Amino acid sequence: MTLRTRLTDPRVLLAPGVYDALTALVAEQAGFEALYLSGASIAYTRLGRSDVGLTTATEVEDTLARLTERVAVPVIVDADTGFGNALNAQRTVRAFERAGAAMIQLEDQTFPKRCGHLEGKRVVPAAEMVGKLRAAVDARRSSETLILARTDARAMEGLDAALERAERYLEAGADALFVEALRSDDELRAAAARFGGRVPLLANMVEGGATPVRSADDLGALGFRIVIFPGGTARAAAAALQGYFASLRQHGTTEPWRDRMLDFAGLNELIGTPDLLRRGRTYDDDAAD
């Protein structure tokens, strides 16, 4: 099922954040219908750095291609600002579409951008973002590749201005909308009341961020169609690694941690090693005789 088709279903779509092929595979095995490739989480895990515009389009494209080669579920990818102007955004859309993106997210921050829940963001003029979105729509090869327009204007210009920007982005051809860093339940309701019945609307849940964290079911009841927890995977992994490394340093062995980790056979089962080896044997010289 394509993402466009899935979004015609009234059920809310919960897409966990992933940052590499392994996290994508585990999420797919858990039964999620779509995944969200988080630009912030690529910065956290690939660079060990903050989400302040340090990742490149090529790094995201490479990560995306590795995900879509490994999993079958649709992937929504964070393309930041498109990594430049309208022409750069076109290159980004074409590259990410070739790499298997089902939905490509573009935002209206200036460059270098920063995480939507950090202070000090700035946005480009709405007209500039409208042109970038039009360019993105023109660049895609397939109508099944969806364009998600994100506005970060709430922090600088207020809620009403952010909603007006989202309206203009919808008119420019965006297939879905994302009003970032809404500050309260009332603001979540206001965004959903304006757009929820008209276009797939995304809610971003960031643990400790500006937006109150609510369940996918609660947000779906308001009118949101897509709910992401983009950085939760990286934060959970970082917390687990802190505990693991502290234990290993203290005890000099992994034995105290064994009940919280996969063993060699368990990991190989998860990633499909037995099936991979079976398939490899079909190409052995002896098998061909």
pLDDT at 209: 80
Q: What is the pLDDT of residues 186-204, one digit of tens each?
A: 999 999 999 998 999 999 9
CA distance 14 to 19: 16
Q: Which residues of the chain have pLDDT under 50?
A: none
The CA-atom distances, in angstroms, between 135 and each of 58, 87, 94, 277 are 19, 7, 11, 45
pLDDT at 119: 66
CA distance 159 to 43: 28
Phi/psi at 232 (nearest 5 deg)? Answer: -60, -35
* Amino acid identity at 276: L
Q: Are 67 and 24 in contact (CB under 8 A)?
A: yes
Q: Supply the pTM of this predicted model.
A: 0.94
Furthest C-alpha separation in the chain: 72
pLDDT at 277: 93
pLDDT at 62: 97
Average pLDDT over the chain reads 93
Q: What is the pLDDT of residues 2-16, one digit of tens each?
A: 999 999 999 999 999
DSSP track, 224-253: -SEEEETTHHHHHHHHHHHHHHHHHHHHSS
DSSP track, 175-186: SEEEETT--SHH
Q: Which domains does the chain have, with CATH numbers?
A: 3-231 (3.20.20.60), 238-288 (no CATH)
pLDDT at 110: 84
* Amino acid identity at 25: L
